[in-house]
Structure 1
Amino acid sequence: MPVHPLQWVRFESVTCLNPLLEASLLVVDPQAWFAARPWLTANPRSLARAESLDARALDALLNTREAFDGVARMIGLGGGTAIDTAKYLAWRTGLPLILVPSALTVDAPFTDSAAVRRDGRIHYTGQVTPEAIIVDADLIRTAPAHLNRGGVGDILSIHTALHDWRLAHARTGEPYDAAIAQQSAALLERLREHSREIYAVSDAGVRLLTELFCEEVYLCLQAGSSRPEEGSEHHLLYTLEYLTGRAYLHGAAVTLCALVMAHLQGNAPDELRTLADACGVEYRAILAEVGEDALVAAVLRAPDYAREEGLPYTALTETPITPARAREAVAWVATPLPPQQLQ
């Protein structure tokens, strides 16, 4: 039976790390290290800066043998890059692992594999179970609020992913678990009911998003795949990052792609956008960074990318997407909701 990741979560201060640091390799991003430093009175045995999920960068860290001298434990402190770097290193070395997200931008702290980029394409590698996942609301609130609000992208993606899963079942006979799909959809309802707490990044909001991530990951483990929360919206994001050679803030970027795909699916896109706006996800900032033309190009390229990577059947492979349809979907996302729909 899969283990529920909430089992590893401890809602407490990062000061609990102080007795452990002297024998630990601390993998950090600089902003998180600076933010946590007032609480961390001890120094780590070794310090590694997480800068990229490129396989060559990760293996270069792994081969820096002096960084591992006297190290008894791996601690990942930061956002998604630091978390996945620590998971990868712990998997490759067998060292015990503690994860400390400095912002809830992505579900990575609660999954058991590490995201690794090879030749510009994301692959999920390895399997590692942490000793603990430390969720400190005070530390998390040191990050800009929009980072934590954007984390709901890996919950909002359930909206489009379930549509794709049902479609694949109907078209290809792929196994579909209606009970798991129903439980996944219930996470969206729970998010809708408490969107104000997410927007406020309150203690209750931090706990809620942590629990939603854990529930989503557990449902995927039960399903034996990421079908409950990953479909065409993630595939579109992978394509976009491959084409541009850039990594975007995951939560907001996957929300942007979910909105585009919900429009293309004919799958209650206004409902999804209302919820994203209520949570304060700044997906239009990602669109401004990407550019509408680049996103349209990614939509048109995504079906081929999905086939090349052997990704599951989704709306991207259902019918050809014309340039006109792709541009219409992107233009819809770029246009703000009327004021009455924001209430």
Structure 2
Amino acid sequence: MAEQQERTEQATPRRRQKAREKGQMPRSRELTTAAGMAGLLLVIHYGGANFMFKMKDVTAKFLSFQYGHDPFRAINVAMLKSFMMLLPFFLGIMVCAVASEIFQVGFMLKPYEPKLSRLNPMSGLGKLFSTDVLVEFVKSFTKFLGGGLVFYFIVRRDIYRWPLLMTKELVQIVSGTYGFVMSAMVWGLLYLFIIAVLSYAFARWQFEKSIRMSKEEIKEEYKETEGDPKIKSRIRSIQREQARKRMMAEVPKATVVITNPTHLAIALLYKGDKMSAPKITAKGSGYIAEKIRKIARENRIPIYEDKPLARALFQFEIGEFVPQELYKAVARILAYIYQLKGKV
């Protein structure tokens, strides 16, 4: 029993769909952070100069009282203009962060469902010592240590330039500082991207492991989706029995029953004024053939023995009309039956 419960099988599509409906998808917060930082860098790269120009203009107008002499009104106008200038930066971060989430989990809207178990202090205490907390601690420590090393090497590389900036003009100081900040952000983004990829790979591995199924679970899921094989077999048996009863009810209406003579029986119906060709209304072999012959005798339906014709007609389905190549053989039998009944 223990071996049956081992989750050694890959999750089925239905199991994955259920996990998705519950919001259980592999996700890396580091990847979202890296995407947001990439969006910020793109906006700074393509719009940083324009931002600095506008910011200088707003500062100059504020200090020269062009926004009015009322300090509160001037501050409000300056803050509003500053916010409008910062809006592209916020949008860049948001768009890239949302794109990262869509890449990881796709479009998924799950309503919030409060869980009382989250308020249980014992379960919260248990989570403090869980493997997930340990993994998050290792990730955070690695990010902090790696980030510190990246910052150290960047500062060490450019530290000789700082004294020289003190002798430059303000524009050159701003340009040099901008270059230093951008270089630090690019290297930081590269480091964070590496951490994010590793984090997402680990999250995906954890997710695949968590949704694995045992062979018993796969069997149960198959029963739920496809139905119990025993029940399905019983349903098919009932359906066949009902179809057989409907078929037997058509035998008393037949014009003739052609036999093999004992192994096969095919009932044909022909109404010359309403049908273009005789139609097969019932057929069977063995026990069913015997039942067809019995019902035909009870209802005084002519029974005609023709082995080749019976084998040929047996190949066609109930409800089909006799094919053209068998017209002559069937017409000969019908003519014989009509003679017996005195219709000719």
Larger strand percent: 1
Q: Decide which structure has greater helix share.
A: 2
Higher relative contact order (CA 8 A, sep 6+): 2
